[in-house]
Structure 1
Amino acid sequence: MSDSRAQDAASDLGSGSRRRTWTELLAGRVKRQLHGPGREHKLQESAVRLLRRHLNLNDLLLEVEGPACKTLCLHQLVDPEASADLSSSLIGSALRDQASRLGVPVAVLSSRTVASSIVQICASSGEPSHRVLLNAEQRKKLSSLLEVAQYLLAHSMFSRSSFCEELWEVQDSLLLEAVWHLHVQNIVSLQELLESRADTQATVAWLFRDLCLLCEQMEASTLHTEIARAMLSDFVQLFVLRGFEKNSDLRSVEPAHMAQLSAAVLQRMLIFALEALTTGLQDSSPAYRAVKSCS
């Protein structure tokens, strides 16, 4: 073992059970490695992997930059009242500075930050988890967040592909309405998001479950009827257009990924509607009322 490695080991042993910070780990790795072709790129990839695996982005940024980072960045993205005096350009500048300190592309950090903020907004209502619609407070917060995301997109500081990947990682924490607003506000389209996931079966199951819940919640309350109908219309329109789209490439044997997904969702929704209508004629079941309200 070299003298430098022995010193590192002794330092680790002497620190007892204290956990080394992100900055210490990153600095130690840089010191131990010789600079060479591609070394910086590999280090950046490692930083991105650590960033994506970190469960609490707030804690990570707080550790790297201190309390000022949290005050200037994530808190403002989630809370529109707190960000009233901050422009999107200032938030973008803060994200760029943080990305530089972390050694990751700003587009990756911005995508991760926006995805994390959307999850926090979706979980902020305190209502039962089996929902697909936002409340008024959540819509206000999401609208503020998407304004920042649009600025980041316009200034090449946001990666749609990374953002889609991050959203699928937290799929179970998302509300369907939040996904729809991403489409309406041109952050990422429904088709782009759905096509970014290779697991068609899991995506179909998620869509079918949430669309059924959308119909049920639309029937149960008149407060969100307009938004719910707009959501349902956009999803169904996409599935019909892509599910019955003729394949222009005659050399292709397998149907396109989006066509498969769309046809599968439509088939499951049709079976659900027929079964609900059949049983509902006798007992006026909730599923029957939900289907009637969406028809």
Structure 2
Amino acid sequence: MSDSRVPNSSSGQGSGGRRRSWAELLAGRVKRQKYNPERAQKLKESAVHLLRSRQDLSALLLEVEGVQCKKLCLSNLIDCGSSEAHANHSSSFIGSALQDQASRLGVPVGILSATMVASGVGQICVAPVDPSHPVLLTVEQRKKLSSLLEIAQYLLAHNMFSRLSFCQELWKIQNSLLLEAVWHLHVQSIVSLQELLESHPDMRAVGAWLFRNLCCLCEQIEASCQHDDVARAMLSDFVQMFVLRGFQKNSDLRRTVEPEKVSQVAVDVLQRMLIFALEALAAGVQEESSTHKTLRCWYVPEGGLPEAGRFLLR
């Protein structure tokens, strides 16, 4: 009875008895496979789904690239505490590294970059904050966000950043997202307020979120917070957008977003603020209470924002 065997077929060993890796074992089979566009698309969709559903992005990248990925760890990307850290993580280096990782993961670099930056924004917003300033960033948080957004601007300029994916990822951390961070995204032209609002799946939910945050912002302005100039600039931009979108019937603004949904959010926020004021007046608002401070900032011209009062009190 013959005892002959096909060499190296089942043992997975090479000519010198060396055990071959999985990559070596599968190399021949991969070469013989014909390209299937439908299968390739399904694999890409699966990879994107894995990327978006992964809670710990840094851990996922470590699995793909190993120890070298620590150079691109999120905590390092948003750490602007030293010039050395900034020099070692220039925007061009990060862009190149993201392209390499996107290739390994089998996903578009724009989606990976958007997920990375959104995760960075989330880490900054959940850092320790001053309880008296629930919608504003601290000085340290503001510096870190500025450093991160410089990277995002580079990625945008080189077509390596998906704005839509970024907006979708941001809303996943809505409960911890600080209003000032959203405003900086608009001011620094990462995504506009209109574009961000348009991407939210629930117009009523985002309206309620904005209303709560704007009430906090108004209260802080009346309390003469430390970052009063930033707070007033934020409120002015938000009110301007709400008034323009809420009362503008025939918009000729050429944007990539549909104005209808943004108008719904604008009207919803303005109505919530009006109802809030009427209910407070009916109940008898107390002088210098948090409600009184919010309404005074929103409606009274001395607060520096006469637009809201003129439109809402007609």
| Separation of aligned partners in 2, 1:233 and 1:290 | 14
Q: Is the 8 A contact 1:133 1:175 kept in 2?
A: yes
After superposition, the Cα gap between the structure-2 partners of 1:231 and 1:284, relative to the gap in structure 1 and judged at 3 Å, is same
Q: Is the 8 A contact 2:133 2:220 kept in 1?
A: no
SS in 1 for 2:37: coil
Letter in 1 for 2:37: P
Q: Is the 8 A contact 1:73 1:94 kept in 2?
A: no
Match of 1:186 among 185, 189, 201: 189
1:141-200, Cα deviation, whole Å (9 max, x unpaired): 000000000000000000001111111111112000000000000000000010112311
| Separation of aligned partners in 1, 2:286 and 2:47 | 60
Letter in 2 for 1:38: E
| Separation of aligned partners in 2, 1:204 and 1:109 | 29
Within the alignment, does 1:198 sit opposite 2:201 as a pair? yes
Letter in 2 for 1:84: H
* 1:40 Cα deviation from its structure 2 partner: 1.2
Q: Is the 8 A contact 1:280 1:287 kept in 2?
A: no
| Separation of aligned partners in 2, 1:193 and 1:208 | 16
Match of 1:154 among 149, 152, 157: 157
Aligned match of 1:134: 137
Q: Could you tell me the TM-score, scaled by structure 2's length?
A: 0.77
After superposition, the Cα gap between the structure-2 partners of 1:70 and 1:221, relative to the gap in structure 1 and judged at 3 Å, is farther
Larger radius of gyration: 2
* 1:127 Cα deviation from its structure 2 partner: 4.4
| Separation of aligned partners in 1, 2:122 and 2:154 | 20
After superposition, the Cα gap between the structure-2 partners of 1:57 and 1:241, relative to the gap in structure 1 and judged at 3 Å, is same
After superposition, the Cα gap between the structure-2 partners of 1:220 and 1:278, relative to the gap in structure 1 and judged at 3 Å, is farther
Aligned match of 2:263: 259
Aligned match of 2:46: 46
After superposition, the Cα gap between the structure-2 partners of 1:105 and 1:133, relative to the gap in structure 1 and judged at 3 Å, is same
Match of 1:217 among 216, 220, 227: 220
Aligned match of 1:76: 76
Letter in 1 for 2:292: Y
Q: Give the aligned length.
A: 265
Within the alignment, does 1:287 sit opposite 2:291 as a pair? yes
Within the alignment, does 1:57 sit opposite 2:57 as a pair? yes
| Separation of aligned partners in 1, 2:110 and 2:227 | 34
| Separation of aligned partners in 2, 1:180 and 1:290 | 19
Q: Is the 8 A contact 1:276 1:291 kept in 2?
A: no
After superposition, the Cα gap between the structure-2 partners of 1:87 and 1:289, relative to the gap in structure 1 and judged at 3 Å, is same
After superposition, the Cα gap between the structure-2 partners of 1:81 and 1:268, relative to the gap in structure 1 and judged at 3 Å, is same
Structure 1 unmatched runs, 5+: 1-22, 250-254
* 1:247 Cα deviation from its structure 2 partner: 3.3
Letter in 1 for 2:158: H
- Moved beyond 6 Å, runs of 4+: none
* 1:122 Cα deviation from its structure 2 partner: 0.5
1:116-159, Cα deviation, whole Å (9 max, x unpaired): 00000001125449811100000000000000000000000000
Alignment of 1:227-246 (within 5 A): 227-246=230-249
1:13-38, Cα deviation, whole Å (9 max, x unpaired): xxxxxxxxxx99xx9xx97x975232
Within the alignment, does 1:111 sit opposite 2:119 as a pair? no
SS in 1 for 2:86: coil
| Separation of aligned partners in 1, 2:271 and 2:55 | 37
Match of 1:273 among 272, 277, 290: 277
| Separation of aligned partners in 1, 2:246 and 2:269 | 9
CA RMSD of aligned residues (A): 2.7
Q: Could you tell me the TM-score, scaled by structure 1's length?
A: 0.82
Letter in 2 for 1:222: C
After superposition, the Cα gap between the structure-2 partners of 1:277 and 1:231, relative to the gap in structure 1 and judged at 3 Å, is farther
| Separation of aligned partners in 2, 1:177 and 1:51 | 27
| Separation of aligned partners in 2, 1:177 and 1:90 | 28
After superposition, the Cα gap between the structure-2 partners of 1:174 and 1:281, relative to the gap in structure 1 and judged at 3 Å, is closer
Letter in 2 for 1:245: Q
Q: Percent of pairs identical after alignment?
A: 63
After superposition, the Cα gap between the structure-2 partners of 1:154 and 1:248, relative to the gap in structure 1 and judged at 3 Å, is closer
Aligned match of 1:97: 100
